[in-house]
Structure 1
Amino acid sequence: MKQPNLEKNETKVKKKSSFVNLMTPQRKISKKVSILLGIFSFVIILVVWSFITYEKIVGSMFVPTPGETFKAMQTMFAAGFWSDIWITVYRVMLGFIIALIVAIPLGILVGAYSPFAALLEPVFSFVRYMPASAFIPLFIFWIGIGESEKVAVIILGSLPQLVLMIANNIRDVEKSLIEVSYTLGTNTFDVLWKIILPKSLPNIMDTIRIVLGWAWTYVIVAEIVGASSGIGFSILQAQRTFQIDSIFVGILTLGIIGLIVDTGLTIINKKLFSWNF
C-alpha cells in the first residue's frame, strides 16, 4: 500500500534535483535545453508585444502591432530594403576588419610587453572615452559624407576597445603556465607563440564577438547623421514620415543580423577551440 507514495516521493525528489542541477552556478546544460530556453525567451517577448498592442494598452502611434510590423517589412523589402541592409553590413565589416588587423598585433604587444603597455595603453584608454559619434562632424569636414567617413567612425569606435580588451585577454593567461614553460627551457619567443597566444585565442574570439556588436551602433549613428543609404538612413526617413512600423522593421533587422553574426562567431569559436568549452 505504501508503494505508490514512495514512487510519488521519488518523482518529487527527481524533479527537485533536476531543477537544482539546472540552477547550479556555471553548470552546463544540454544543447537542446539551451535552444529551447532561447526560443522561449523570444516567445515571451512576442506575447508581451502582442498583448500591449492588440489590447490597445499602448497606441499604435507609439508601438505597432506585430502584424503591422510584418506588413511594413514586406513593403520595405519589396521596395529594395535589401540594398540598405547590404551597404550597412559592408560598412560595418570593412571598418571592423581594418580595426581588427591593426588591433590584434597592438593588443598582443600591450598585453605581453610592459614597455608597450606603458607607451600605448594610456593613449588608447584616453581615446576609448571619446564617443566615436562626437567625431562625425569632424570626419564629415575632413573626409566628406562618403563611405570613408562611415568606415572611419567604425574604426575609431572599435580600435581602442579591441586593443585594450585583447591586451587583457593576453594578461589573463595564468602566470603558472608561463613560469613552468621557462622552467622547462622555453625561450621568450616560444612562450608568446606556443603558450600565451594559444591559451588566449578563445578569449580573443569572444572579445571580437563583443566589440563587433558595438560596431553596429557606430555605423547606425553615422548613417543617421550623414548618409543617403543604409539601415540607419531608412530609420531616419521613417521617423521623418512618422512610420513607426518601419522604424521597428529597421531595429528588428539589426537585431536579427546581430544574432546571426553572433551565433556564427560563437559556433566558429567552439569549433576552433573545442578544448576550451
Structure 2
Amino acid sequence: MKKSPTKARLFLIRTDIPRKWYWIGTILSFVFVLLVWQVMSSFHIVQTTFLPSPEFVFNTFIQLITSTDYWADIGISFYRVFMGFLLAAIIGVPLGILAGTFKITESLIIPLSEFIRYMPAPAFIPLIMVWAGIGETAKILIIFIGSFFQLIIMVADDTKAVNEDLIHASYTLGANRRMALIRVILPAVLPRLFSTLRLIMGWAWTYLVVAELVAADSGLGYSIMKAQRFMNTDVIFVGILVIGLLGLIIDRLFVVLNRVLFPWSEGGK
C-alpha cells in the first residue's frame, strides 16, 4: 500500500512540510512534556516538594500574574535584559561587520573575542561589583558581557557569508570601498544579522538569573532565588515558565519583523 504524498514528505531531508503538520508536531511536543510531568507528579516518582503538579503550578501562576509586584519584577527584568542586549548590539554589530570585512580588523578583534567568549560571565561578577557597584549598571553589564563577544563573532561570520561576486560587481560599476561597504555589504548582511540578533536575545535572557544574583531585590531571577531559599518550587517553576514565555514572545516578534523587513529571505519558522 502506497503512502500518501503528504506523509511521504514528512521525513524527507530539508523539505518543507504543510503548516498544519508543523503545528501538530509543535503541539505534540508540549503535550508530551506536560504528560510526563503529570505522570511523575501523580505517581510521586519525584516528591511533590521538588516537583509540584502542573495544576498546582498553574494556580500559582494565576495567583502571581495577578499581582502588581510580580509585574514589577517582570518589568525590571525585561529592562535589564533589553539594556544589556541593546548595549551589546550597538557596540558589537559595527565591530563584527568591520571584522568580517577587513582582515586587519579581524586580526584585532576576532582572536581576542574568541578568547574571552569562553570565560563564563558569572566569573566577572566580583570584578563588575568592584567596577560598577551593585546597582542596575552591574546587572546590565553581566548580560552585556555574556552576549557581546558571541555577537561579534556571529556578525563577523554573517558578513563573511556575503557573496564576493556582489562586491566585485560593485567595483566594476565604479564603487569604492566605502560605497561597497555601505551599499552592498550592509544591505546583504541585514537579513542574517537580524537572525543573529534574535539568537543573541535568547542568550541575553539566559544570563538574567546570573545578573540578578548581584545584590538584587527585584526581578524574576531574584524571585526564583528567593523561592529556592524557602523551597517554594511552584514559584520557581512559574518564574522559569514566565521567562520562557517572554523569550518565546520576543522570538516570534523577531520572526515577524524579519519576514516584514526582509520578505525575500528565510525568516525562520
What TM-score comes out, normalization by structure 1 length? 0.90
Q: Which residue of 1 aligns with 2:170?
A: 181
Measure, in 2, the Cα distance between the counterparts of 1:69 and 1:55: 17
Q: Describe how 1:238-257 pairs up with structure 2 within 5 A.
A: 238-257=227-246
Which shows bigger deviation, 225-234 or 185-194?
185-194
Measure, in 1, the Cα distance between the counterparts of 2:108 and 2:165: 26
Task: State yes or no: 1:29 paired with 2:31.
Answer: no
Q: Deviations over 1:156-199 (max 9, x none)?
A: 11111111110110001122332333334433223222222222
Q: Which residue of 1 aligns with 2:8?
A: 20
Measure, in 2, the Cα distance between the counterparts of 1:28 and 1:202: 20
Q: CA deviation at 1:33?
A: 3.1
Task: State yes or no: 1:192 paired with 2:145.
Answer: no
Q: CA deviation at 1:274?
A: 1.1
Q: Deviations over 1:114-140 (max 9, x none)?
A: 111111222222221221111111211
Q: CA deviation at 1:26?
A: 1.6
Measure, in 2, the Cα distance between the counterparts of 1:30 and 1:173: 31
Q: Which residue of 2 aligns with 1:106?
A: 95
SS in 1 for 2:212: helix
Task: State yes or no: 1:97 paired with 2:86.
Answer: yes
Q: Which residue of 2 aligns with 1:57?
A: 45
Percent of matched pairs sharing the same residue: 42
Q: CA deviation at 1:92?
A: 0.4
Distance 1:18 1:31, change over 3 A: closer
Measure, in 2, the Cα distance between the counterparts of 1:267 and 1:147: 31
Measure, in 2, the Cα distance between the counterparts of 1:179 and 1:65: 61
The one-letter code sitting in structure 1 at the alignment partner of 2:32 is I
Identify unmatched segments of 5+ residues in structure 2: none
In the alignment, which of 41, 65, 75 is matched to residue 86 of structure 1? 75
Q: CA deviation at 1:272?
A: 1.0
Q: Which residue of 2 aligns with 1:138?
A: 127
Question: Going by fraction, where is helix more abundant, 1 or 2?
Answer: 1
Q: Deviations over 1:17-43 (max 9, x none)?
A: 322212222212333332332222212
Identify unmatched segments of 5+ residues in structure 1: 1-8
Q: CA deviation at 1:225?
A: 4.1
SS in 1 for 2:15: coil
Q: Which residue of 2 aligns with 1:202?
A: 191
SS in 2 for 1:224: coil
What TM-score comes out, normalization by structure 2 length? 0.92
Q: Deviations over 1:16-72 (max 9, x none)?
A: x32221222221233333233222221221122112112222221121100110122
Measure, in 2, the Cα distance between the counterparts of 1:154 and 1:218: 6
The one-letter code sitting in structure 2 at the alignment partner of 1:57 is I
Q: Deviations over 1:131-156 (max 9, x none)?
A: 11111112112222110110111111
Task: State yes or no: 1:127 paired with 2:116.
Answer: yes
Measure, in 1, the Cα distance between the counterparts of 2:19 and 2:183: 32
Q: Deviations over 1:67-122 (max 9, x none)?
A: 11012223323442111111000100011111111111111111101111111222
Measure, in 2, the Cα distance between the counterparts of 1:272 and 1:170: 18
Measure, in 2, the Cα distance between the counterparts of 1:193 and 1:78: 49
The one-letter code sitting in structure 2 at the alignment partner of 1:69 is V
Q: Which residue of 2 aligns with 1:150?
A: 139
Larger radius of gyration: 1
Which shows bigger deviation, 174-183 or 192-201?
174-183
